[in-house]
Amino acid sequence: MDAPAIRWGVLGPGGIARDWTAALHATTASRVTAIGSRSLDRAQAFAADFGVERSHGSYAELVADDGIDAVYVASPHSEHREHALLALAAGKPVLVEKAFTRNAAEAADVIDSARERGLLAVEAMWTRFLPHIDVVRRCLEDGVLGDIRAVEADHGQLLYPDGPRRLAAPELAGGALLDLAIYPISFAYFVLGGFAAVQATGTLTETGVDAGETVAVVGPRDAIGTLGSTMLAKTPCAASVSGTAGRLEIDGWFYQPNTVRLIDTDDRELDRYDSPSREHGLAYEAAEFARLLTAGKSESDLLPLDETLRIMQILDDIRAQLGVAFPGEG
């Protein structure tokens, strides 16, 4: 709530936009003042639900709205490049829902456009901005765990075949990787400071998107990572970081506001951090964006654009190893 108040335009009135707007209005000083959709009826229904002032029946009208300071791009992955470029061309900074785009080439287009215009652009990987991840960050910086040797994380949800249609659709950049695996992959990249090697194996659905994968990584200082995702079952969704002096354990749903436990090498709990609330975690990325925008910044130190691009390159590599391609990628 201490973050500066800014006026948001939301592009795309889907489920994540609803959760994000609810969190924004409940726990920050910022407000959504305009909503844009290809359907004016959907925009008006969203506006009525959240007390939003203006509804637009096109994305072009939304980004041209003079009453917004920034645009939250909440459309499907397959549309992120087009919609982020539309907002940037209108002079609007962007918070782009993860995955940032379908692939690294599209991510580079968005990043180049933002940098050319001097506009703020941030990937909405909300986990990076949560308080318990800041605790992990400080432990790593202070050497609490000694030399890091291993990281483990998984993310599985029962989303196929009876979940959202887009997850099965190659043309909508469906599959487990961009929706689910991106969480453990981004977490491990943050912990290890990058990857020196990536090896993936997995299975595909009958539509040709990935149903799940196991990804083995090696960090630049020889630490290993074991990462997994599936949209065929609910998994523990836990994470751990192990070093020569101890380990951190994060409970299930590690990517949401959570508890972090410090465990010594004899498996004794030495300390723990409990998030102040497990609700409205999406607000932290919006608050960070408002601080950055007010300070005149063009990207976040917590998730720099070059890191977003590198992670998209890694996701491309994993898809290539699995044999997954999206129509029209080039």
CATH of the domain at 259: 3.30.360.10
Torsion, CA 176, CA 18, CA 60, CA 66, rounded to 10: -140
- pTM, two decimals, is 0.96
Q: Are residues 268 and 151 in the same domain?
A: yes
Give the model's pLDDT for residue 82: 98
pLDDT of residue 329: 83
Question: What average pLDDT does the segment 67-75 reach?
Answer: 98
Residues 184, 269, single domain; the answer is yes
Structural domain includes residue 288: no
Identify residue 50 by its one-letter amino acid code: F
Q: Percentage of the chain with pLDDT > 90?
A: 97
Confidence at residue 328, expressed as pLDDT on a 0 to 100 scale: 87
Among 116, 97, 79, 108, smallest CA distance to 312 is for 108
Q: Helices H, strands E: what count in the chain?
A: 10, 14
- Provide the domain limits for residue 196: 131-280+312-322
Co-location of 203 and 107 in the same domain: no
| pLDDT at site 303 | 98
Q: Give the end of a domain, one of 90, 125, 160.
A: 125
Q: Which of 105, 125, 145 is the last residue of a domain?
A: 125
In a domain, 294, yes or no: no
Q: What is the mean pLDDT of residues 262-268?
A: 98
Instruction: For residues 212 and 267, state if they share a domain.
Output: yes
Query: pLDDT grade, residue 61 (50/70/90)?
Result: very high
Question: Can you tell me the mean pLDDT for 302-310?
Answer: 98
pLDDT value for 234: 97
- Tell me what the mean pLDDT of segment 23-43 comes to: 98
Angle at 198 between CA 195 and CA 203, to 5 degrees: 140
Across the range 273-289, mean pLDDT stands at 95
Query: Do 33 and 180 belong together in one domain?
Result: no
CB 168, CB 76: distance < 8 Å: no
Read off the pLDDT of residues 102-119 as tens digits, 9 standing for 90 and up: 999 999 999 999 999 999
CA atoms within 13 Å, Cβ hemisphere of 42 = 15
Classify residue 143: in a domain, yes or no: yes
Name the helix (H) or strand (E) containing 149: strand 148-156
Phi, psi of 156 (to 5 degrees): -130, 135
Residues with catalytic annotation?
A: 98
Q: How confident is the model at residue 72 (pLDDT cuts 50, 70, 90)?
A: very high
Write down the pLDDT at residue 330.
64
The CATH number of the domain holding residue 46 is 3.40.50.720
Average pLDDT, the chain: 97
d(CA 129, CA 125): 8
Cα–Cα distance, 187 to 227 (Å, whole number)? 10
Report if residue 74 sits inside a domain: yes
**pLDDT band per the 50, 70, 90 thresholds, residue 48:** very high
pLDDT (mean) for 181-191: 98
- Domain presence at residue 299: no
pLDDT confidence of residue 278: 86
Residue 156 has pLDDT above 90, yes or no: yes
Q: Is residue 19 part of a domain?
A: yes
Residues 150, 112 share a domain = no
Asked which of 59, 91, 125 is the last residue of a domain, the reply is 125
Same domain, 120 and 172: no
* Residues 6 or more apart whose Cβ sits within 8 Å of residue 141: none
Same domain, 115 and 147: no
Of 259 and 329, more confident:
259
Q: Are residues 171 and 197 in the same domain?
A: yes
Given the structure tokens 């950049």, which residue do they identify? 173
Residue 285 lies in a domain: no
Domain co-membership, 149 together with 89: no
Contact call for residues 60 and 69 (beta carbons, < 8 A):
no
> Among 86, 130, 134, which Cα is nearest to 110's?
86
Same domain, 66 and 110: yes
Pairing of strands 197-204, 210-218: antiparallel
Query: Is it the case that residue 93 has pLDDT exceeding 90?
Result: yes
Q: What is the mean pLDDT of residues 265-274?
A: 97
Query: Looking at residues 299-317, what average pLDDT do you find?
Result: 98
| Within-domain flag for 41 | yes
In the predicted model, is pLDDT for residue 326 greater than 70? Answer: yes
Average pLDDT over residues 43-56: 98
- Based on the fold, state whether residues 108 and 157 are members of the same structural domain: no
Q: What pLDDT is attached to residue 161?
A: 94
Number of domains in the chain: 2
Residue 251: pLDDT band by 50, 70, 90 thresholds? Answer: confident
